[in-house]
Amino acid sequence: MFVAEVFTGQPGCSLVLRHRSSFEGLVQGDLDHLPEQAFYMVGGAEEVERKAAELESNA
């Protein structure tokens, strides 16, 4: 169990080092077109993009 799970009710996640391309993409601005809310409480870039699409469909 992750520490914050008790407070948020959301399960935590771990990212392995080989997924560092998500971080590199973030730093290089590859995700700048996505809304800030899409980055909240998610893991890698794939989850950010999935959440952004979900937010857009709910708008």
Q: Are 48 and 34 in contact (CB under 8 A)?
A: yes
The pLDDT of residue 5 is above 80: yes
Residue 56, amino acid = E
CATH number at residue 50: 1.10.1140.10
The residue behind tokens 């290089």 is 28
pLDDT at 10: 81
Number of domains in the chain: 1
Each residue's pLDDT tens digit, 9-57 = 888 777 777 767 778 888 999 999 999 999 998 888 889 999 999 999 9
Give the residue ranges of DSSP H helices in the chain: 5-8, 20-28, 45-58
Range of the domain at 43: 5-58
